[in-house]
């Protein structure tokens, strides 16, 4: 069945449809030996498509998994330091998966991996405001003034954070636990927010992404999302 070229490129996880359209206008997409044009359609079963000199293969079956990431793993596909990668934990899956967003090396919890480039682009885009909830353990006491600051927005060196939501507070010895919900994805955002308030994060774990929860999934384990869960994800974007 014929599809628009930008859709085929996005389905292969190479780029968003918008980026694919740019590649087409720049002459980086070749259809059956001829530079492609916007509006061209193709069928991977019969047509040859080259994207940046590489052949576009038939799209793999789309799969998205929910992983309970342990600490001590990087969320990148390649690491120059040779550290363990989250993709090592899903190596049994034949499709080549990549993370949707990132969790820091020492951050654990819910991480989605997929080969669906279009889904990844949308879930990662800040305009869709997908809520992500973290369990945070800090050294010290989270005061009412600090809570107000988090819920108003904290000034960081790259701008003011969007209002967050604080819930489920409790103190254990010299540490304070709470849940923090944000929809942004700034680098080390929660750790920097806490540092700005004079708090040191001892443990950070993502426990919820949109409507998806870790539930009783063990650390280092993963499960494949159902079609119903994928549809719910798509509804929030």
- Mean pLDDT within 147-171: 96
Whether residue 12 has pLDDT greater than 80: no
Kindly report the number of other CB atoms within 10 A of residue 222's CB atom: 21
CATH topology of domain 131-209: Alpha-Beta Plaits (3.30.70)
Residues forming a β-bridge with 105 = none
**Architecture field, domain 3-55:** Roll (3.10)
Return the axis-axis angle of helices 227-235 and 117-124, rounded to nearest 10°. 40
- Catalytic site positions: 104
pTM: 0.77
CA distance 126 to 123: 8
CA distance 20 to 18: 5
Reported as a single tens digit per residue, the pLDDT across 199-236 is: 999 999 999 999 999 999 999 999 999 999 999 988 88
Q: Are 132 and 206 in contact (CB under 8 A)?
A: yes
Q: Which sequence spans correspond to the domains of the chain?
A: 3-55, 64-125+212-235, 131-209
Q: Report CA 82 to chain centroid distance, whole Å.
A: 22
Reported as a single tens digit per residue, the pLDDT across 123-158 is: 887 777 899 999 999 998 999 999 999 999 999 999
Cβ burial, residue 26 (10 Å; 0-12/13-18/19+) = exposed
CATH number of 64-125+212-235: 3.30.70.580
Q: Do domains 3-55 and 131-209 have the same CATH topology?
A: no
């Amino acid at each position: 069945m014929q599809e628009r070229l930008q859709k085929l490129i996005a389905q292969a996880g190479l780029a968003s449809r918008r980026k694919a359209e740019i590649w087409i206008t720049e002459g980086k997409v070749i259809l059956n030996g001829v530079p492609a044009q916007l509006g061209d359609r193709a069928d991977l079963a019969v047509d040859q498509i080259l994207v940046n000199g590489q052949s576009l293969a038939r799209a793999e079956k789309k799969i998205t998994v929910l992983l309970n990431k342990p600490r001590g793993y990087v969320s990148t596909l390649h690491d120059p330091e040779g550290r363990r990668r989250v993709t090592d934990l899903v190596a049994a899956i034949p499709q080549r998966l990549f993370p949707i967003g990132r969790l820091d090396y020492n951050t654990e919890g819910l991480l989605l991996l997929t080969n669906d480039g279009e889904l990844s682009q949308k879930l990662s885009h800040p305009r869709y405001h997908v809520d992500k909830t973290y369990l945070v353990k800090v050294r010290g006491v989270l005061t009412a003034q600090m809570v107000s600051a988090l819920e108003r927005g904290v000034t960081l060196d790259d701008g003011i954070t969007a209002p967050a939501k604080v819930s489920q507070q409790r103190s254990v010895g010299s540490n304070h636990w709470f849940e923090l919900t944000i929809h942004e994805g700034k680098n080390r955002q929660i750790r920097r927010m806490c540092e700005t308030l004079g708090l040191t994060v001892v443990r950070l774990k993502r426990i919820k992404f949109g409507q998806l929860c870790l539930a009783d999934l063990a650390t280092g384990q993963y499960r494949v999302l159902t079609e119903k869960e994928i549809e719910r994800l798509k509804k929030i974007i």
